[in-house]
Structure 1
Amino acid sequence: MISRTLLLAGVASATLFANPSQASEAQLAVDDPPSSVGTGASDASPEIFVTARRRQETSQDVPLAISVIGGEHIDNTGSFNVGRLQQLTPTLQFYSSNPRNSAANIRGLGAPFGLTNDGIEQGVGIYVDDVYYSRAASSTFDFLDVAQIEVLRGPQGTLYGKNTTAGAINITTRAPTFDFKGRAEVTIGNLGFKQAKAAVSGPLSDTVAARFALSSTSRQGTIFNVASGNRINEQDNLGLRGQLLWRPTETVDVTLAGDFSRQDTECCGTVYVRTGSTQRSLNRQYAALTSALGYTVVSTNPFDRLTDIDADLNAGNTLGGASLRVKWEVGAGTFTSVTAWRFWDWKPENDRDFTGLPIVTRSQNPSQQDQYTQELRYSQSGDALDFVIGAFGYHQRIDTQGLEQHGPASSRWNINPSNPLSNDPSVLAGLTAYNTQALSNTSAALYGQVSWKVTDAFTIQPGIRLNYDKKKGLYDRQVFDGQGNPVLLGQTGAMKAAQLAIFSPQSYRPSGSDWNFSYDVTASYKLAQDVLAYATYAKTFKSFGINQNGVPNDASGVPALAAQTIKPESLNHYEVGVKAQFLDRRATLNLSAFRTEIANYQAQVTNGQFGTVRGYLANAEKVRTQGVEADFSLRPSQRFNLYLNGAYTDATYRKFEDAPCPPELSGGGSGAVIGAPGAPGTNSPAFCDISGQRLPGVSKWSFSYGAEYNRPAAVLGQDGAVYLGVDGNYRSRWSSNPSPSAYTWVKGYALTNVRAGFRTDAGFEIYGWVRNAFDVKYFDELNVPGGNTGLITGKPGDPRTWGATIKTEF
């Protein structure tokens, strides 16, 4: 940690500049580029510049579905991390039970819904100034000095270093400048919300410029834990970013960048939501078990925001890294080299029984990751041909040291009451599993894309990618009873059988390597000066996976080692779209329709056992997602603008015949006659056919919308404008369990945010804001704890919050 801190203390970087008239891959050389997705931003420019195809161009000229969100709108709507960004982009879904167990999905695809498994790739790539962030945990941190975010929908493997099958989030930070500039922002609000952001930029010499930015966010938790007397699920984030830009000539930019982020929160707890009957015997379901243990939950109304979970909670983690980027204008093109190192240290503690009972008394899986990437890229633009070619290398090392321990209530909770051992707390009290995990993940790729301008109106754009992946893992679980004696497979006796039913020792070393070839082709046609139509086909893949969280036991109680690796996904993607501007470019309407078919979809599943395996990976035979999207914005004058973005997404398992069963079809005995869902004491199927059912986390309908009106005014002798803005989003209901369950549908909801303030052309702004203005009660997610007791817990979304912000630029 000392060496990392010393390294970070001396580094800096950010966005590089190139002459737009010469460079085919130019970065935006302004502090706040014109940007909008119909975001309600005050900038009135009809042109929105992006670098999605590794060259500067307007978003309307890019033949792919892309949402562009400017830094100003991110700040004004309080969308300071990816979790909040989904409120502005309907097809982006983000789920997080804690920083490690986070996932960003686009159009229903990306990472499996549920506990994170290090052995698979993220389908949605997160890039910050060309550097790939492999850990989804990075998406829970505050955005730091962001100028613009581009959300690219659909496969992007022929343009980006790391293969991304669902899309990419391309984040551009504000660049160092050769004239002195600065910005500062302070926000206060209810729940003790405090946020401060600052950045300063300027020259150190004629050839060197620097920029430094920081961000700090804190807020009380939204849930009160009566067991500890603390508010939990709080925010406590600190971020630092430094940047040095050396420009020895007009054709060479060298940038050194470093960043460091820290979270130190008592997080992440849940509340009781409901119970639903399973097929377990009635005396082993939640009501009977809590009654036998004399336990009453603190509140059965989840929006009382009360919990009594009794294990320690912690979501402390640090994340950072350094990068060196070189851009050199060579001939008619630009050569780019990006060398980067990133680290992530995760120190969690959780309550895995989700109750105030001492069932699981300790659960922690600290993890450390180091990541190294090298990308080389050359791009060029010409009258008839644009192209980019690149090579990418990636190495990741993850080490995890897990511990889970049961307490005195575990025997009564987990052992059948007909067994006398259920009344003996010592049988499971102190039972401890130590889990050691290690992963070495190496990837290399060659990729390229060409845009051939057949005519002034018609362009064909083929792309290819050759990818190699090699993964080596280790999973080792050792189990000890409360007296410190090892618990081993093959041991006999009723007590050992009860202990092995909770934790069974496992040890295996999954590994594999594979080559894959991807390609895509896009045809686009200018129907008119401001109307572009396009069609895309892509054949791509997600590399094979290895199970890093353990595997289920077979019928004889032996680990099913056949499940330690899973097949790569194979995707066929089809998309058509139209991008149009009219009313003298004051109105923009973009439409797209897509269909993605996946064979061997990598699904996150659970097997209903309490502590044996919390989640593992398996292949679903076929998955399909299809839908339509529309983005509309209108700016009839400088005084008023509005936007409406919508998406219909139909994402379903087309064939998954051996999926895990939902809770209402779990927990019962084995036999030929299967009981009705939720019928206590009946038989459960060994697996369930969920073909045709919806993928988790995906709403069929989602919208984001907003408007802003301003008018000239003078306040305290300062000329400017007063304004009123409204932004909102809607999601229809979605499933919060990998196998859809009647108990875990999250109801649809609409959130509305309001802001009003005063801004000047000189860069001063003050405004008040209310988020979730109507105090809508909704859930971020619902959980099915292990044990098949019928308990459902959840994480309530933020209540109404309000506050004020003051910011200035100079």
Structure 2
Amino acid sequence: MKHIKSRKLLLAGSALLGLASPAAALAQQAETETAPAPEQATGADAALIGAEIIVTARRREERLQDVPVAISAFSGTALQNQGAIDITSLQQQTPNLTLQIARGSNSTLIAFIRGIGQQDPVWGFEPGVGLYVDDVYVARPQGAVLDIFDIDRVEVLRGPQGTLYGRNTIGGAIKYVTKRLGNDFEAKVRGAYGSYDQRDLIGSVTVPISDILSVGGAVAWYKRDGFGENLTTGAEHYNKDVLAGRLSAELTPSDALFIRIAADKTVDKSNPRHGHRELGNGTALGAPLEDVYDTRAGIGDDNKVVTQGISGTIELEASDALTLKSITAYRKGHTDTVIDFDGLPQPILDIPSFYKDHQFTQEFQALITADRLQGVIGLYYLDNSAEGAFDTVIGNANLTTLTSGQVDTRSYAAFGDISYDLTDHFSVSLGGRYTRDKREGTVFRADYLGLRSPIFGRPTATPFRIRTNYTNDRTDSKFTPRISLRYEPTDDIMAYASYNKGFKSGGFDPRGDAIFTPDTVNGYAPETVDAYEVGLKGAFLDRTFFLNAAGFYSDYKNQQVTTQFVSGTTVVSSVDNAGASRIWGLELEGRAVASPELSVSFAYGYTNAKFREFLTLNPATLRVEDLADSRVFQNTPEHNINVSLNYAKDLGGAGTLALTPSLSYRSDYSLFEVPNRVLDQDGYELVDMSIVWTSDDKRFQIGAHGRNLTDKKYRVGGYNFPGALTGNSIIGFYGPPRTFTVTGEVRF
């Protein structure tokens, strides 16, 4: 494989963020002696050859150390050994990443990288950080809190990735890569029991049907009582009830042809999350509860999220220099949920809602590998439809506002990224993507006397006022270039500099209120970012210290910002292209190896983000004003740090014992662009610990995992609707409390 050189960097790959298991350092010498040559390694199954990390950040297999992009990579094994349940645990280990469960949900994902993202999951909005499952783009955040099972690795790509990944990767991309089946029988069962009566059961199997055909599947069942209780209904609050499964078949008729069909489905029936009242409203029931996981919500406990999809991948090695690839996929999802914004038994501010979506994507790639030339060119198509509806029930006014609508998107793109080695030490990469997005939006808002609209249980209700009723369309197109320079003075060190342009198309505000903001019918414009990055990746001190460093500067324009506020007797929304901002920062990831048994890993991220201009509707004056001096970036702590100790002890024929304590810290941050002393989160630290025993033959494993050992209470989301009309609804949502889990795994 091009650029995968001698074994001098076999250790360097394992240096970053524990992609290898905690015992990898201990087993390293033996692996180096027996592993096949790295240049022979292909596919996800070879992600750890001799503890070397192979990633596909540029849509082709490369050593992580050779890619001129800021990347963090984690193996599924390492995440399981740390006791991670879902991908939100990556937030603690990745510089400048916010990855959390969205407010009022159990499985909706919000993601920010280097200050850029989107926390609003309503159907008209799209994320600023793209999520990909086996190179298939997942357009909607509902059901995107992916559990850690049957995966090979997760890659976090920081900075705009529009050239190769396209849609909505203006902040970065997260790649969730599942395991290829191979042609050997394999089966395993993993179980877990822990705090709050946690019961997890995961099983997977690979069955070779013939020399060229294998089939496999995995199923995961997650069950846990709530961290708190709904004191009004008696239901569990912050519980988990998820069933997920995958099936796949792989056909390899020849060494040059690979075909994979994969299907997945996840059903989440966990109870809805209603949040915790942060301030009282002058009544006994309205006082904040002592336990932040408890609620007095009266809207009910019905919630169900179903996501599913099927994909087909074909890879044809047309020649030694050219591989053709096709990725075809269809996905759909449906959510029925309720959110009690006031946290009280009465319907003061209740939101019953549903969302549904479906998407078809097709991508063609041509991967080029020549003597000094490597790269990929391709075509991409997406056809997506997202729709939904919700009632805003304001009991104190005996009024309901129905909001409903649909957004259809068709996206076309052509892209390419080519690297050329000018010398043995210096190379240049040029890339670009032309994207054309056509969107049609339909938005309907109406006021009804009484509680609930016809869609949510009151079929005889008729509107007395239409607030918004339109269908409109817009087409946005953009060419986004990319250039990077890479210099390798030695086999152990690589430095790079790059420029990327990111782009996210415009759209229509699904909550847009034409009475208060008549221009909402015209939609909002695209946002762009010009991102500059310099980096260094290397092994030092006789390859006992490894460091990846990146510095970045971003010029962010026309940022799409959502503002919601109470006006009159309803809640209105405004989406603005707020203006301009600049973001700069630093990222460090490294590992120091003290001995074959002991190493220390660390990660540090610093982000300095400031608005230069923030043009938005001022709720006090109902005029568009520049409020940059009073606005901050949401979900963007200035500092985040992770330090973990990795100790692995060979028990002399009785297996290996691995100990992994870790400490992570995030400085204070705001949940919204408007600072709020009640909701904003102070800096906090989390302490985790895992102990894992693995048998010598790798067939048996037993682990004990403690997470958030100091039982820190920290907010990950909130709503801010103060005032008497809404019951002073200032609501916070919290991350998990202290938990202990015991795991066991058997391989057959």
Normalising to structure 1: TM-score of the pair? 0.82
Matched, 1:527 2:489: yes
The alpha carbon displacement at 1:760 in A equals: 1.6
Q: Which amino acid aligns with 1:445?
A: A
Query: Contact 1:83–1:139 (CA<8 Å) still a contact in 2?
Result: no
Query: Contact 1:99–1:136 (CA<8 Å) still a contact in 2?
Result: no
Query: Contact 1:733–1:746 (CA<8 Å) still a contact in 2?
Result: yes
Which of 321, 326, 330 aligns to 2:318? It is 330
Deviations 1:702-760 (A, max 9, x none): 0122112122226xxx6212232112311000001232223322011100111223212
Matched, 1:317 2:321: no
- Separation in 2, partners of 1:760, 1:702: 35
SS in 1 for 2:565: coil
Which of 17, 34, 37 aligns to 1:37? It is 17
- Separation in 2, partners of 1:211, 1:748: 44
Give the alignment's Cα RMSD to 1 decimal.
Answer: 2.4
Query: Contact 2:713–2:735 (CA<8 Å) still a contact in 1?
Result: yes
The alpha carbon displacement at 1:406 in A equals: 4.0
- Separation in 2, partners of 1:750, 1:99: 23
- Separation in 2, partners of 1:685, 1:561: 13
Identify if the C-alpha distance between structure 1 residues 611 and 737 changes in structure 2 by more than 3 Å, giving closer, same or farther: farther
SS in 2 for 1:608: strand
Which of 541, 550, 563 aligns to 1:592? It is 550
Which of 515, 522, 546 aligns to 2:508? It is 546
Relative to its length, the structure with more strand (as a share) is: 2
Deviations 1:140-186 (A, max 9, x none): 23133111111001111112253511111111111112111122211
- Separation in 2, partners of 1:299, 1:601: 35
Query: Contact 1:467–1:515 (CA<8 Å) still a contact in 2?
Result: yes
Which of 683, 708, 711 aligns to 1:775? It is 711
Identify if the C-alpha distance between structure 1 residues 249 and 384 changes in structure 2 by more than 3 Å, giving closer, same or farther: same
Which of 442, 450, 453 aligns to 2:418? It is 450
Which residue pairs with 1:511 in the alignment? 473
The alpha carbon displacement at 1:657 in A equals: 4.0
Which residue pairs with 1:625 in the alignment? 583
- Separation in 2, partners of 1:685, 1:506: 19
Identify if the C-alpha distance between structure 1 residues 46 and 178 changes in structure 2 by more than 3 Å, giving closer, same or farther: closer
Deviations 1:550-605 (A, max 9, x none): 23633xxxx52346411111211111011111244343101100011111101121
Query: Contact 1:520–1:538 (CA<8 Å) still a contact in 2?
Result: yes
Query: Contact 1:762–1:809 (CA<8 Å) still a contact in 2?
Result: no
State which drifts further: 603-612 or 543-552. Answer: 603-612
5 Å-filtered alignment, 1:229-628, equals: 229-274=234-279, 286-287=281-282, 290=283, 295-297=284-286, 299-303=288-292, 305-331=293-319, 332-360=321-349, 362-407=350-395, 410-411=396-397, 428=398, 431-482=399-450, 484=460, 486-489=462-465, 505-551=467-513, 553-554=515-516, 560-562=518-520, 564-609=522-567, 612-628=570-586
Query: Contact 1:389–1:447 (CA<8 Å) still a contact in 2?
Result: yes
Q: Which amino acid aligns with 1:310?
A: G
Q: Which amino acid aligns with 1:41?
A: P
State which drifts further: 366-375 or 345-354. Answer: 345-354
Identify if the C-alpha distance between structure 1 residues 591 and 739 changes in structure 2 by more than 3 Å, giving closer, same or farther: same
Query: Contact 1:263–1:317 (CA<8 Å) still a contact in 2?
Result: yes
5+ long unaligned stretches in structure 1? 1-19, 25-32, 276-285, 412-427, 490-503, 671-683
Which residue pairs with 2:200 in the alignment? 195
Which residue pairs with 2:640 in the alignment? 702
Largest Rg, 1 or 2: 1
Query: Contact 1:145–1:199 (CA<8 Å) still a contact in 2?
Result: yes
Deviations 1:285-307 (A, max 9, x none): x33xx4xxxx433644354x332
Which residue pairs with 2:682 in the alignment? 747
Which residue pairs with 1:216 in the alignment? 221
- Separation in 2, partners of 1:611, 1:369: 31
Identify if the C-alpha distance between structure 1 residues 74 and 468 changes in structure 2 by more than 3 Å, giving closer, same or farther: same
- Separation in 2, partners of 1:756, 1:610: 56
Which residue pairs with 2:37 in the alignment? none
SS in 2 for 1:398: strand
- Separation in 2, partners of 1:240, 1:611: 45
Identify if the C-alpha distance between structure 1 residues 645 and 745 changes in structure 2 by more than 3 Å, giving closer, same or farther: same
Query: Contact 2:16–2:589 (CA<8 Å) still a contact in 1?
Result: no
Which residue pairs with 2:191 in the alignment? 186
Query: Contact 2:651–2:657 (CA<8 Å) still a contact in 1?
Result: yes
Query: Contact 2:467–2:513 (CA<8 Å) still a contact in 1?
Result: no
The alpha carbon displacement at 1:439 in A equals: 1.4
Deviations 1:336-363 (A, max 9, x none): 0000000111111111333333324x52
State which drifts further: 322-331 or 646-655. Answer: 646-655
The alpha carbon displacement at 1:791 in A equals: 4.3
Identify if the C-alpha distance between structure 1 residues 259 and 572 changes in structure 2 by more than 3 Å, giving closer, same or farther: same
- Separation in 1, partners of 2:106, 2:59: 30
SS in 2 for 1:561: helix
- Separation in 1, partners of 2:180, 2:624: 57
Which residue pairs with 1:107 in the alignment? 114
Query: Contact 1:242–1:258 (CA<8 Å) still a contact in 2?
Result: yes
Q: Which amino acid aligns with 1:312?
A: G
- Separation in 2, partners of 1:100, 1:203: 34
- Separation in 2, partners of 1:229, 1:311: 13
The alpha carbon displacement at 1:41 in A equals: 3.0
Q: Percent identity?
A: 28
Q: Which amino acid aligns with 1:347?
A: D
State which drifts further: 529-538 or 504-513. Answer: 504-513
5 Å-filtered alignment, 1:44-59, equals: 44=25, 45-59=50-64
Query: Contact 2:108–2:144 (CA<8 Å) still a contact in 1?
Result: no
The alpha carbon displacement at 1:203 in A equals: 0.7
Q: Which amino acid aligns with 1:401?
A: A
- Separation in 2, partners of 1:301, 1:542: 42
State which drifts further: 787-796 or 200-209. Answer: 787-796
Matched, 1:720 2:655: yes
Which residue pairs with 2:592 in the alignment? 634
Q: Which amino acid aligns with 1:517?
A: F
Which residue pairs with 1:84 in the alignment? 89
- Separation in 1, partners of 2:165, 2:184: 32
SS in 2 for 1:509: strand
Identify if the C-alpha distance between structure 1 residues 106 and 144 changes in structure 2 by more than 3 Å, giving closer, same or farther: same
Which of 795, 799, 804 aligns to 2:733? It is 795
Normalising to structure 2: TM-score of the pair? 0.89
State which drifts further: 328-337 or 82-91. Answer: 82-91
Deviations 1:245-290 (A, max 9, x none): 0111110011111000010011111112236xxxxxxxxxx33xx4
- Separation in 1, partners of 2:600, 2:291: 35
Query: Contact 1:606–1:660 (CA<8 Å) still a contact in 2?
Result: no
- Separation in 2, partners of 1:611, 1:383: 68
SS in 1 for 2:144: helix
SS in 1 for 2:676: coil
Identify if the C-alpha distance between structure 1 residues 721 and 485 changes in structure 2 by more than 3 Å, giving closer, same or farther: closer
The alpha carbon displacement at 1:659 in A equals: 5.1
- Separation in 1, partners of 2:134, 2:461: 52
Deviations 1:354-384 (A, max 9, x none): 3333324x52221221100000000111221
